[in-house]
Amino acid sequence: MSDDPSDKPSQRMNGARQRSVPSGRISRLSGFGRLAGGVAGGMLAEGARRLAKGEIPKVEDMLLTPGNAMRLADRLAHLRGAAMKLGQMISMDAGDMLPPELATILASLRDRANFMPARQLDGVLKEQWGNDWRGQFKWFNPRPIAAASIGQVHKAMTRDGQLLAIKVQYPGVADSVDSDVDNVATLLRISGVLPEELDISGLLEAAKVQLKEEADYVREGQQMQLYTAKLAGDDGFVIPTLHEGLTREHILAMSFEEGVPIDSLESEPQEQRDAVAQRMMRLVARELFELGVMQTDPNFANFHYRPATGQIVLLDFGAARDVSPSITEGYRALIKAGLAGDAEDIKLAAKSAGFVNQAALDRHPERIGKMIDIIVGEMSQDAPFDFGDRSFVPLLRDEGMAIAEDKKSWHLPPPDSIFIQRKVSGTALLGARLKSRVNIRRILEEVL
């Protein structure tokens, strides 16, 4: 049922394929089983290859191979839901810590565009809207314009001429969050990515809560309206208008807003890239210190750009969450210490906010001191910071990995801080993708 004059796949959907989403507990569990079996087979093959070359293979070398990363990406893309969402998180959060070829393969999860077959899609729409759902539209394009981890987006026009974007959730996603998170954690454990000694139970529980919130489209619609109110008067951003009459728990209906993917601006003039990155970074600072709410998913697909007006379109609010006063004050103290260049105050603020523990400070004072010096030296100047220059990243990675090898220094920040930091780090990655130059110090001083 499509009379859409633009009935063609978007740039992000080119090369997409239909793959039915496993929705039952048994089918999803078997998917993880096939993944584990494939990884084990890949390990044996890599071990045999290394032995044939006269090498003594290490377990981590056999696990973290491009072949196994490809198996992981493909299986998570098939399962979708919380499983794929966690894979996307790992790819963004650990991108600088992984070997380049593995980071590239896992990053493909952010652009995977598998979508539901027509029969499965129709089943979801009938369940949410009733058997006569087609009668509400002049046309409904059955081929999605975007497909992500939790749902896919369709373009449609109502009988009264409203052009809408309809986000349809994959079946079984909401009910599989707990098991998906537990299964991914188990895979990470056996792969050696997560050491046994590190207690991540609190983080896993927080991840389950957030992913269940993201699967509640009524809640997301409310968050969209909240952001509309919070950013009223700021014409630099566009937020879709919620269509409450068509929105359901697993269907989100909103106005269709034109725009191009924000990371497609990487070939545009420097001035334009700088302006876009600056506005995104100012928004993050405002979310943290002024608005009291933050959309914590930094996936580039959540942000589009309107070349004609220079506006940024904000598209996804499932991961929007309140920022507690304690988190705000922790960041405020840390940033003020950083702007002042006071290393001791930075350590105290970082410890108070839960970013580092006393054991790490006691056992690795020189390495932590070097990391602070690098960050302060890069970010504290009253001048544009070149996000395209990543020369300092390996220096931070080397010091951080050296500390991470010491089990007595292992520590996880509070889960809420981790979600906030994802948005901060992900926005910095967008700056790096655009090779933008932004005066971060000036933004922080103005917002603080």
Looking at the annotation, which residues are catalytic? 297
Name the burial class of residue 276, with classes exposed (0-12), middle (13-18) and buried (19+) by CB atoms within 10 angstroms of its CB. Answer: buried
Distance of alpha carbon 222 from alpha carbon 178, whole angstroms:
24
Which residue type sits at 200? I
DSSP bridge pairs for 306: 311
Q: Where are the beta strands (DSSP E) in 224-296?
A: 237-238, 251-255, 260-261, 293-295
- Contact in structure between 399 and 389 (CB atoms under 8 Å): no
Q: How far is CA 151 from the centre of its chain?
A: 15
Strand pairing partners for 314?
A: 303
Q: Which of 155, 157, 148, 146 is nearest to 10 (CA)?
A: 146
CA 87 to CA 64: how far, in whole Å? 14
Kindly state the tokens that stand for 421: 């930091």
- The DSSP element (H or E) to which 69 belongs, if any, is helix 66-79
Tokens coding 131: 């058997």
Distance CA 433, CA 266 (A): 7
For residue 248, list its beta bridge partners: 251
Fill in the DSSP letter of residue 288. I
Q: Is 54 left (phi over 0), alpha (psi -120 to 50) or beta?
A: left
Backbone angles phi, psi at 159, to 5 degrees: -60, -30
**Residue 77: is it exposed, middle or buried by C-beta count within 10 angstroms (0-12/13-18/19+)?**
buried
Q: Judge contact between 242 and 253, C-beta under 8 A.
A: yes
Nearest Cα to Cα of residue 252 among 315, 167, 319, 314:
167
- Do the Cβ atoms of 273 and 266 come closer than 8 Å? yes
Q: Is 314 helix (H, G, I), strand (E, B) or coil?
A: strand
Burial class, 37, CB count within 10 angstroms (exposed 0-12 / middle 13-18 / buried 19+): exposed
Q: Give me the torsion for CA of 418, 424, 428, 431, rounded to 10°.
A: 140
